[in-house]
Structure formats: structure tokens, C-alpha cells
Amino acid sequence: MYKLINRYFSYKDERGVIEGLVNFGNWQEINIITSYQNTVRGGHFHKKTKELFYILKGQIKAELYDVNSADKKETVILNEGDIFLIEPYTLHTFTMLTDSQWINMLSIKNDETSPDIHKL
């Protein structure tokens, strides 16, 4: 359904820090999203697309529901620095607890003529 991702690499020296965020997957679309406190995004699921999120700033409540298994529901609070993967058939709704910004990566490019966006 979903997975919090650990950084795969971290290196620090006198010049600063390099942190490896993601070293897997084939991401066809990358977006940056800014949302304001108390707004809601999502409310849908994908049949084919995996989504990866890297929270740049803010705090977001993610409500997750496996559409194939009515008993699989979770709510998680995402914070700055979190990396989060959502699997297909996971209905996801995000409520911004603060002004928030994140990078969103899609495994399949969004097709505006036939989007992989589904609602219950």
C-alpha cells in the first residue's frame, strides 16, 4: 500500500552534506507541488502508476485506503524530509496541516487524454 523510504546514502565533510534520496525505479514524470494549510489534494487512486513523494517543507496528513481490501486503512503524518512511496490501488488523500511543498514522481507519465486517476 505505502512505504516510508530511508535514504540510501549520506556523506558529510567540511563542504557540506550529500544525501542519496532514491536509487530505484523508473520515474517518467517529476513535479513540484505547493499547497496551503488546511487544503486537500488527492482523493483518488491509480491502477498502474506508483507515486513517490519527497516532502520539502511542511506537515501533511496522508489518509490511505487499499481499494482491494476494505480493512486496510491508515493515516500517517508526513514531515519535512520524509520520502514516501504509494503503490497502485491505494486511495490517497492529503490534508495540509501547514503550508507544504513536495516533489512528486510518477512511474508512468500522466496522459491527459486517458489519465490513470480513479475515484470510488
Cell reading at 18: 550529500
Mean pLDDT of 23-38: 96
Distance CA 29, CA 104 (A): 8
Question: Which among 119, 110, 6, 4 has a CA at the least distance from the CA of 65?
Answer: 119
pLDDT surpasses 90 at 1 = no
Rounded mean pLDDT, 53-60: 98
